[in-house]
Amino acid sequence: MTETADIVIIGSGIVGSSVAYHLAEAGCTGVLVVEREAHQGKGSTGKSMGGVRAQFSTPVNIRMSIYSIDFFASFDEVVGYPADYRAHGYLFCATEGRHLNYLKANRERQMALGLNNVEMVSRDDIAKFVPQLRVDDVLGGTYCPTDGFVDPHSVMMGFMLKARERGVRLWLDTPVTGIVVENGQVTGILTKRGRVSTRVIVNAAGPWAAEVAMMAGVDLPVEPLRRQLVPTEAFDKLPKRFPMVIDMSTGFHFRREGAGILLAWNDPEETAGFKTDFDPTFVEKILTRAADRVPCLADAAVNPRRSWAGLYEMTPDHHAIIGSAPDVRGLYFANGFSGHGVMHSPASGRITADLILHGHSDLIDTSQLGLGRFAEGRLLEETALL
């Protein structure tokens, strides 16, 4: 017998789980989430650095961050599961005048949208956050104390556990092999368990979003891009608590992770593709940049076998695609977060649920994030990328 569902969500990562949670909270009981892997969090969610920040350059991303960070701050109480939100802040360090002017302009935009706690900080201020930081060439920067980190796996599980308490079904180890479209309307999905009849499908497939969209004949401009993270062994030469520090001259950034330090840098030579193996030669590249900005990190021990790689889901303008397919009724997208999927998961789940249930969202002007913007040349360019 053919299974039925009011709404099918493809992908059970943090975004798909948030969509399921928000639909369930709105009273939807006929929701089915299908996941290709045997366990949740095997895709981008489980490989994320867990950063959350509102220091962006475009209004839509700033608004999504403000909502999401407020949500994370009350996640434990509202959802009933821990998010491990740590408001340690993000500290952007500028070594060039153009970068400092960029931060100033961003701060004005952020403040105009209600983010009133972003501070301009001096070289001396920056040195106080991390005394071991080399600041001789630093001109200044910005700091937002409510930026910070969450545990992506805990957030994802919290969303899904609460959704399942509300009646959402989760099918693990169930790859989707096809989307059925009849007369321009989705009518079902095909899986190894058989067909599921539905008239609403949410594509929350992360880096695999383009493949899923093509099952319905939709060209979705989302590409996977490898990002690599390197944790040090226990390291006590830096403070026990400090913000995420971003060196704008190189893009190198780091934060404390337990007893060690988590190092990150986006290699500009990386090309699109489903590469998820960690490249051992990356260690030398990132340690060179780390030691240049934080000389004592030259003494940090690194085991490449503890390092890992995950996938960003990139769009041409580095903004998410949230909304319905222009030519396929009942098909919705929550994709292409370009490295911001974890931090924007509360907002993206809320917005997607709003669109399905009401056709609009009061949170943001969703037309900005629609798929049609690419064909119409209405691209948004987010430049505050990490």
78: in domain:
no
In this prediction the pTM is 0.97
Number of domains forming the structure of the chain: 2
Q: Let me know the angle formed at the C-alpha of 304 by 298 and 305, rounded to the nearest 5 degrees.
A: 150
291: in domain:
yes
Give the domain CATH number at 122. 3.30.9.10
pLDDT at 113 exceeding the cut of 90: yes
pLDDT at 1 exceeding the cut of 70: no
332 and 209 together in one domain: yes
pLDDT at 383 exceeding the cut of 90: no
- Range with the lowest mean pLDDT among 79-83, 177-181, 380-384? 380-384
pLDDT, one tens digit per residue, over 224-233 is 999 999 999 9
Q: Note the helical H segments in the chain.
A: 14-25, 59-73, 75-79, 97-112, 123-129, 152-165, 209-214, 281-293, 345-358, 372-376
217 and 327 together in one domain: yes
Q: Which strand ranges, in their side-by-side order, compose the sheet holding 321-324?
A: 169-171, 31-34, 7-10, 201-203, 331-335, 321-324
80: in domain:
no
139 and 240 together in one domain: yes
Residue 309: exposed, middle, or buried by beta-carbon count in 10 A (0-12, 13-18, 19+)?
middle
Residue where one domain finishes, among candidates 281, 297, 312: 312
pLDDT of residue 2: 79
For residue 138, what are the domain limits?
Answer: 90-145+228-312
pLDDT, one tens digit per residue, over 275-312 is 999 999 999 999 999 999 999 999 999 999 999 999 99
385 — pLDDT class (breaks 50, 70, 90) = confident
d(CA 127, CA 133) in angstroms, rounded, equals 6
Q: Let me know the angle formed at the C-alpha of 344 by 201 and 362, rounded to the nearest 5 degrees.
A: 70
249 and 302 together in one domain: yes
d(CA 83, CA 79) in angstroms, rounded, equals 9
pLDDT at 380 exceeding the cut of 90: no
pLDDT, one tens digit per residue, over 245-261 is 999 999 999 999 999 99
Residue where one domain finishes, among candidates 278, 312, 346: 312
180 and 299 together in one domain: no
pLDDT of residue 72: 99
Q: State in Å, rounded, how far the first CA of the chain is from the last one.
A: 48
263 and 122 together in one domain: yes
59: in domain:
no
37: in domain:
yes
pLDDT, one tens digit per residue, over 126-159 is 999 999 999 999 999 999 999 999 999 999 999 9
137 and 237 together in one domain: yes
232 and 304 together in one domain: yes
307 and 164 together in one domain: no
Residue where one domain finishes, among candidates 312, 328, 346: 312
275 and 249 together in one domain: yes
Give the domain CATH number at 35. 3.50.50.60
282: in domain:
yes
pLDDT, one tens digit per residue, over 310-357 is 999 999 999 999 999 999 999 999 999 999 999 999 999 999 999 999
248: in domain:
yes
58: in domain:
no
Average pLDDT over the chain, rounded to an integer? 97
328 and 216 together in one domain: yes
43 and 11 together in one domain: yes
Lookup: tokens for 47: 């490989």
Residue 98: exposed, middle, or buried by beta-carbon count in 10 A (0-12, 13-18, 19+)?
exposed
384 — pLDDT class (breaks 50, 70, 90) = confident
pLDDT at 386 exceeding the cut of 90: no
